Structure 1
Amino acid sequence: MDGDWDGLRADVRQMIDELIVSGRESGVQVAAYLDGVPILTVQAGVADRATGRELGADTPIWSASTGKVLTSTVVHVLAERGELDYDLRIADVWPEFARHGKDQVTLRHALTHTAGVPALPADVTPQDFTDWDRMCAILADAAPIAPPGEVKAYHAWTFGWLVGEVVRRVTGRRISQVLAEDVAGPLGVADELYLGVPAAELGRLARVEDRNMAALFDYASANLPNFDRVAPPGVRPGAQIGSRADVLAADVPATGTMTARAAARMLAALIGEVEGVRLISPTRMREAATLDGPPGPEWVFGQETTWGLGYAVDDDGSFGAAGSGGSLAYAYPELGLTIAATKTLLGAGDGDPMEDLRVLIRDRVTAKR
């Protein structure tokens, strides 16, 4: 790695070590690429507190909604090849989805969280999540909360089956297979980027645990009237889901399992070239990372929200996603920079140390540009 970034690496290492020593974190990975080259790969702590197994740079961690970056990237790679169109009506390839007036919902609506089907049945279970056909049948039979395009509503879980079933119907392959073969494989990280994790690889994963995320979910349930509709009590996106081998092995492509260095590498190949691999053209990258409509209030959390085609778009020029509990993966096209962070203790409500690390890295790179 470039010695010009030794100081940044030392500062990131110190921040992570302090978080672990204080008990705030247990295992953390942080990685960054600049102009297609890794400038930072730092990890510390343990992958499993029960056994003391060391966390390596190659240890995948379930990273909640940061997985939406993987799922969205699959779509753009397929679109680049002409296999998918963002304005494809979902019912044209998935006829059952047309029920209850959903015949005009497009893939674009799904990517921008305006498809109108963010809710799940109140009694849905983790076991249901392991049954792809059952979850798709639930979505096909769902009545929308609004016509497509009218309401921004975070499709916390349903995003994955909406997008993933379109991919399956069009390509004949599971979305986890497309990710492995068409995205992670060419980048040499097929063993570090997963939607559904192969059963033989489950023993390599870090074990996520709750720090205080469950308490935040309880607060959201009590104070946000639509929260339980998108994240019913049995399937809240925390350690109760992310530590289950059966769910990890299933395709649940609203979430993903990854290393920080692989996520940063994938994003680097979206905005530029990495060792001869560029996943999509500059024109498509700009389209994917451009706001799809003005910011507006979001149905679940009530905040002003901005999305591109599957990615959150921030006002600092970045696009990507962050997951419940603290993981993140973002690209800064104008800087040629990508940053990813994963962690094993899922927490919230008392600061966001991974976001602090993202800001530190971004600001250091900006200062050198």
Structure 2
Amino acid sequence: MDITREELCDWERMCAVVADAELWWEPGTAVGYHAYTFGWIVGEIVRRVTGRPLARVLREELTGPLGVADELYFGMPVSEHGRLAPLEDAPGTEHMFAELPEDLPMFRAGPKSTFPTAELGNRTDILAADIPAGGKTSARAMARLYAALLGDVPGVRPVSPERLREMASVAASGTDRVFGNESAWGLGFALGLPDGSARKAGVFGMGGAGGSFTYGDVENGVAFAMTKNRLTPDFSAVTEVIGIVAAEA
């Protein structure tokens, strides 16, 4: 994908780029995760079905009813940017990133300039654009979202119990063609925890660039979210916190 940072902020341009992209494999024969690509495919479907921008649908259909409309955004109004904790890269991250080979599959999916670093994530245009990946959020808002999916928020049930079971069950699995890790996926969510455990045990969620992580545990009724503003290349911090939560659950 040959795009610039500025183009990331252009919805029509990015949808056109994704639509023109050549498939890496025959659908159904492999798996690969790329947040930008996935986000614009799903986001454009939502826009065409509803006739509304994705950020507006998010606010009106989900975060508003959940009471977290001012804590979870795709495109965040500039007037709200002062509430954000600035991102920072962990020491050594920039050097490690610079040494990565240019021919890695993840850089074929998107150029290095668009990889989620602190410098990119702190840009005013990136924060304000309706980019359907890399949301601006609090841990509280994400935990409440997963609690609602589990059926624990009175009056708000985004999905049925039947759909929840599908979301938390394996729909596809295998070696990720973009990042190289072993993965398992439900409908729209990764399955399991960052250490690779619970991959088939009804634990669904998503890891974020920099080491943030969210998940819902169907069996134990746990909704978990941890957000970080210091970006690290691993999930060591969140794995430690998840262990503490598991011990108390």
TM-score in same-fold range (> 0.5): yes
Structure 1 segments unaligned to the other structure (5+ residues): 1-119
Query: Hey, what does 1:209 align to over in structure 2?
Result: 88
**Given residue 39 of structure 2, which amino acid in structure 1 is its aligned partner?**
G
Q: How far off is 1:180 after superposition?
A: 0.6
* Cα shift readout 1:176-200 (whole Å, capped 9, x = no counterpart): 1111111100011000011111222
Q: Secondary structure at the match of 1:185?
A: helix
Query: Hey, what does 2:205 align to over in structure 1?
Result: 320
Q: Secondary structure at the match of 2:31?
A: coil
CA contact (8 A) 1:217 1:236 kept: no
**Given residue 243 of structure 1, which amino acid in structure 2 is its aligned partner?**
N
The structure 1 residue matched to 2:216, chosen from 314, 327, 331, is 331
Q: How far off is 1:224 after superposition?
A: 6.4
Deviates more, 1:308-317 or 1:158-167: 308-317
CA contact (8 A) 1:213 1:325 kept: no
The 5-angstrom pairing of residues 69-108 of structure 1 reads: none
**Given residue 207 of structure 1, which amino acid in structure 2 is its aligned partner?**
P
Find the aligned partners of 1:284 and 1:218 in 2 and give their Cα distance. 42
CA contact (8 A) 1:160 1:255 kept: no
Query: Hey, what does 1:170 align to over in structure 2?
Result: 49
Find the aligned partners of 1:250 and 1:223 in 2 and give their Cα distance. 27
Query: Hey, what does 1:360 align to over in structure 2?
Result: 244
Find the aligned partners of 1:224 and 1:307 in 2 and give their Cα distance. 26
The 5-angstrom pairing of residues 1-369 of structure 1 reads: 120-121=1-2, 124-211=3-90, 212-219=92-99, 221-222=100-101, 225-293=104-172, 295-314=173-192, 315-316=197-198, 317=201, 318-348=203-233, 352-365=236-249
Find the aligned partners of 1:279 and 1:132 in 2 and give their Cα distance. 26
Find the aligned partners of 2:236 and 2:28 in 1 and give their Cα distance. 32
Find the aligned partners of 1:240 and 1:132 in 2 and give their Cα distance. 21
CA contact (8 A) 1:209 1:346 kept: yes
The structure with higher relative contact order (CA 8 Å, sep 6+) is: 1
If you compute each CA radius of gyration, which structure gives the higher value, 1 or 2?
A: 1
Find the aligned partners of 1:273 and 1:227 in 2 and give their Cα distance. 37
Structure 2 segments unaligned to the other structure (5+ residues): none
Aligned residues: 241
Find the aligned partners of 1:275 and 1:264 in 2 and give their Cα distance. 15
**Given residue 57 of structure 2, which amino acid in structure 1 is its aligned partner?**
V
**Given residue 5 of structure 2, which amino acid in structure 1 is its aligned partner?**
P
CA contact (8 A) 2:210 2:233 kept: yes
CA contact (8 A) 2:167 2:204 kept: no
**Given residue 120 of structure 2, which amino acid in structure 1 is its aligned partner?**
I
Q: How far off is 1:345 after superposition?
A: 0.9
CA contact (8 A) 1:139 1:158 kept: yes
CA contact (8 A) 2:143 2:225 kept: yes
Q: How far off is 1:358 after superposition?
A: 1.5
Q: How far off is 1:214 after superposition?
A: 3.2
Find the aligned partners of 1:224 and 1:309 in 2 and give their Cα distance. 30
Find the aligned partners of 1:148 and 1:258 in 2 and give their Cα distance. 32
Find the aligned partners of 1:278 and 1:298 in 2 and give their Cα distance. 31
